[in-house]
Structure 1
Amino acid sequence: MSKYINSTAGSVRFILKEPNSDKITPIIFDFSFGRGKRLKCATGFKIHPKFWDSKNQRIRAVSTISNREEVNAKLRDIETSFIKSVSFHHNQGNDIDRKFLKQIFSNLTNRIENESEDKSIDFFEYADGFTEDKQRHIDKTKTITLSKITLRAYKQTIKKLKAYSKSYDPNLDFDSINLEFYYSFIHYLENEGLSLNTIGKHLKNLIAILNRATEEGINTNLAFQHREFRRVSENTTSIYLTTHEIEKLEKKDLSDKPLHEKARDIFLIGYYTGQRVSDYNGLGINNIRTFEGRSVFEIVQQKTSKTVYIPIHPKLTTIFKKRYKGKMPSKMPEQLINKYIKEVARSVKINEDVFVTRTIGGKKNTDSIKKYKLIGTHTARRSFCTNAYLSKMPVIDIMAISGHTTEKEFYKYIKVSSQERAIKIADSAFFQ
């Protein structure tokens, strides 16, 4: 007998095919083994979701189910025997692919492998399971709001795909997602009146789902990897506020409008820290550190998990002392910040015309929009980066605060005209 312990990275789950059904639904065997190796097939057992314990992956202790112990024991046997068999072949150096796994499962359960006993997962079954997995991950890890927003975006994409399928292709599945589908789906979304960038986000989500399904061996149709099957996008009109406009916001007396005042102050925190709204909205005393007598914000950026340190600007210190007893304004819903900061900007006459070009419903439209209408929580961060650059702060220092990882990414982000950049270059030592 070997003295060494052999192991496998594989894991088994038993899940319901339709966990939200009001009827009985099959219990599915779900095995993952390394990157891109996954097997899902029917166990032959069915149960009503209300009798299923999803945490323990077994049938609940219900007196009306006479064979509960027998079925649960069978599920345990399948799990134990399957893992043992896969581990043995893995440690023997055998190539463990999905076909091999299916054969192990088939032999184990004494079934002849066919369509009725190993039913393939169709696209919408997989897509719904994809979002359920992400939801379970969020619930388990208490993941940040950004992940919940991403999950909602996936669900919206799947909803659009189901609506498309209902109208154009009732049999939409993995094998029918090709270039013909790609252009048809874009046309459908254009007729829905969606902007080009919104269409691009739906395509991005679809490609992410297809990539995952391909890695797990569920999808074998690689038409989506064609160079034409890609996310579409166009440059958006993003504005920044000049230092003069920021000063106008700062000086506006809003003591008779406490909500507007609070929204403006949170916006200024965003401007003087250069962070995303998810990081600057809700900062507190526990985010302050002192180094060599200097107070700084310590922020773990939610999107990147990177820790950044930002000197606390004297103007923020004044705001905290004057209006918040030395503390910081409490967190405010982002939609309210967006609403009130626009109204404050309008009141101080940040109202120059900005020409915005967007592709909506497949047609380019150019509109003249007042600048204050384009201001939102993200304008604070973009304004910091742009004004810090124009003030001749070294780009590497700005990036250390903003969290941009490459200069190419940074220069695409800031809003500096060719004339402004030329003036900045003219002030460099080379031209003196």
Structure 2
Amino acid sequence: MSITRRSILSSSTMVFALQGAAPAASIKDTVNVGFIGSGIRGKQLIDEFKAVPGMRGVAVADLYDGCLVRAQEQFENKLVTSKDYRTVLDNKDVDAVVIATPDHWHERITLDALSAGKHVYVEKPMTWSISEGPRIIEAVKRSGKVLQVGSQAKTSTLTAKAKELIAGGAIGKVNMIRMGNHRNNAEGAWEYPIPPDASEKTIDWPKYLGRVSKRPFDAKQFFRWRCWWEFGSGVAGDLFVHQLTQMHEYMGVRAPKSAVSQGGIFRWNDGRTVPDIMNSLLEYPEGFLVDVYVTQANSFQPRGILVMGDKGTLQLENSRITLTQDSKPTEAQFYGSANFPKKLRDEYLAQFANETRPERVAPQEIAVERGPSHNSFFIDSIVNSKPSRENAEEGHHAAAAAHLCNIAFRKGTRVTYDPVASRVRS
């Protein structure tokens, strides 16, 4: 569908079914999948992948007995479970793995999985630190396997439509993007309930710590790991990265060149070390700013993402895009000429006597039909030898942008980023 800016603006409402989007995976064979990490997000991923034709779950690994029991319930007791993820990697029946562990384990398990000859789906952020990204990228190249990162919005039809509109000049030159996330309850602040049987008998605490310094068992740090820098990457790595990945896709850009951040713990003084409110401003070399923030202390949710250009604005939310064209300004400057003597001002304004006042342009809503799931693209890539729809390079740059926000926050200064060398300077 070829859509010009003029043709879009000529109608008030248009429903868009994305043409050229990948259909549901054309399955030629069954992909046997092992799941490493079956906590809250891992449980969701199991349910999501079960809905993908051609996927068969065969193994699950998790460090908490309760998660293994629940995984068996999900698969009706028809899979192998273990507390050691290497059991999944050593399983010859496993073609691919889905990694949904805390962030500090992503790199190690991803590298081990690729070395074991498995395809990899790894939850966002792909990495816990910027330095891990290049190592994963090189490992993927050596392996020849598919790696897909789990930032679902990247492959959505909404994102594809926004990309088409922006590239086609519908809002002119983009100069500012604003993205936010509001939540104001314990669940939204990651204060998840602790299972009553949580103990060192049901959880492999030493294995969970991995490279993190030894410390006494703490069920909160296990089940609420997002609240600690040692295990997670704060609101930026957990929440910014969704929108950053999507933004990189519809803007067709790779990485920011600098970032500044402010934030702190303003409400949830529960022992966490990461901020519950953080606001970052990133500058991109293509010539635009991105204002991104999360608050875990307010529930008011502004409508969607705002992509602002010099000719209009796109508002992205759920399954629709709202396009608002900027009104053409009048040439006559009534305020700007207020300091003229009356005679000169009258003569100046007389030049514009025949100019009509611009009318406010009504917003146009573009409804976007839902497309295939992000998960289905992973299976499709494996079965039909297609490129990953969110590859290691893309995962690295999106995660790096989030990590850059964290570095700026923790250093308390503006930091710059060289994506070629993956180097940060302050």
Which category describes the TM-score, using the shorter chain as reference length? under 0.3
Greater per-residue helix proportion: 1
Greater per-residue strand proportion: 2
Identify the structure with bigger relative contact order (alpha carbons < 8 Å, sequence gap 6+).
2
> TM-score, normalized by length of structure 2?
0.20
